[in-house]
Amino acid sequence: MTSIPPRRSPPSAKHGRGVAPAPAPSSSGAVSPPGTVPLWQQMQQVGQALQAIRGGRSGTAAVEAVEPRLRPGVQALLFQVLRNLGRAEALRAQLAARKPAPAADALLCAALALAWDANTAPYEPFTLVNQAVEAAKRAPATRAQASFMNACLRRFLRERDALVQATDADPVARWNHPAWWIQRLRKDYPEAWEQILLANNAHAPMALRVNQQKCSLAQYQQALSAINLIAKQVGDCGLELDHPVPVHTLPGFAEGWVSVQDTAAQQAAPMLLRGLDLSQPLRVLDACAAPGGKTAHLLEQAPPGSPLHVTALEVDASRSARIHDTLGRLGLHAQVLVADAAEPDTWWRAHCGGAHFDAILLDAPCTASGIVRRHPDVRWLRRESDIAQLAQLQACILAALWPLLKPGGRMLYCTCSVFKAEGDVQMQTFLAHNKDAQLLPSPGHLIPRTGNKAESVPDNSTGDHDGFFYALLQKLAH
């Protein structure tokens, strides 16, 4: 087993008191008011959010439930907790013979996840312990177990090295992923599974897609440079910032000059449209389209005055509203339908006139196993049985949409998953059952990168990107 590289200290300085400075703005632009926030108060919220995630709630929803002034700091702490939860739970098992009640266990594990490694802890470990105990005392759900938590955490401070060493042999503690997830990656990627897990625990970069209908890549780089932001070009229209910033500080964001989109996801629209004559009327379907990033990119690829017609399909009405928001900010237009891609009888003839599509982009529902570094809750929310269920749904949607593609047309099937069952295996099964489908040159599985160019990771893309799968199909004429 390859050893984990030395841990790096975080860019921010340690804090030794029980008062957190006002956190930096999040990527959503929310900021805390000037002043300080008691760390115990943030710890309370982190514990509650972790308990909600353990109960099946998404990390996004758990963070949105936090009051706005605390949200950025709580999210930063929560993400670090989720990236170290396997280690924390193994340490808690060493410290407590019996698992405490859910609220206390969540707060205890949150403290252990933040404090277990002094090199990466956001505050001094003794400060985190003090504030976690204070948080327990101040909440009705944990007050009765505050003394128990204090004993566990004080023992952890005294015996930290020995306790950590005792958990090193546990793969879940070592890699901070569920055991089934680790086993699945070892099977799918015998040579690269460790590197995938390491990448999953790293911070994702902030990648931008420049709307070249409004400005060139070079012009936008100059605009960033003018406010002291450094960005390197990735792909034809992508930029990767050297550090993340709130979106509202990006030049021209409100005016639609740029969008935030991972560089792997930026490959979808150009891959589907490359070689097509965009000066001619083309009908394109973007299935499972929310929040609309790929829909917008399809439209951005078309020259001014192009007769390209895009239909964006989304089964969830609330998520469909985000497509309208995305297109509105960028000044673009598409036909947006709230409908189920797996049931074309309910929308194809009624809203599309029964006309076949020249191209279809299917960004299918999946485990999201490729975007764990952006959504560290995913690994703890998913169950192994989800893979087979989602693969069945993907096959159902593929079978439903394929007849809507005209002969000679293209379909791009993609998922933000690294599991082979949702990519290579899914596509080989589809090709075996559809003799009129031809696989064109495609990237296949793109595994997440940490930005370390020395990695011996099989890949066919550039930049520091998420995990993705792409298969480009052409429909043969009868």
Q: Is 162 exposed, middle or buried (0-12, 13-18, 19+ CB in 10 A)?
A: exposed
Report CA-CA distances (Å) from 46 to 108, 111, 382: 11, 9, 20
As a whole number of angstroms, the distance between CA 417 and CA 445 comes to: 8
3-state secondary structure the chain: CCCCCCCCCCCCCCCCCCEEECCCCCCCCCCCCCCEEEHHHHHHHHHHHHHHHHCCCCHHHHHHCCCCCCHHHHHHHHHHHHHCHHHHHHHHHHHCCCCCCHHHHHHHHHHHHHHCCCCCCCCCHHHHHHHHHHHHHHCCCCHHHHHHHHHHHHHHHHHHHHHHHHHCCCHHHHHCCCHHHHHHHHHHCCCCHHHHHHHHCCCCCCEEEECCCCCCHHHHHHHHHCCCCCEEEECCCEEEECCCCCHHHCCCCCCCCEEECCCCHHHHHHHHHCCCCCCCCEEEEEECCCCCHHHHHHHHHCCCCCCEEEEEEECCHHHHHHHHHHHHHHCCCCEEEECCCCCHHHCHHHHHCCCCEEEEEEECCCCCCCCCCCCCCHHHHCCCHHHHHHHHHHHHHHHHHHHHEEEEEEEEEEECCCCHHHCHHHHHHHHHHCCCEEEEEEEEEECCCCCCCCCCCCCCCCCCCCCEEEEEEEECCC
As a whole number of angstroms, the distance between CA 176 and CA 88 comes to: 9
Active-site residues, by number, are: 416
C-beta of residue 65 within 8 angstroms of C-beta of residue 52: yes
Strands 357-363 and 282-287: parallel
In 3D, which of 299, 211, 225, 295 has the Cα closest to residue 253? 211
C-beta of residue 19 within 8 angstroms of C-beta of residue 36: yes
C-beta of residue 385 within 8 angstroms of C-beta of residue 392: no
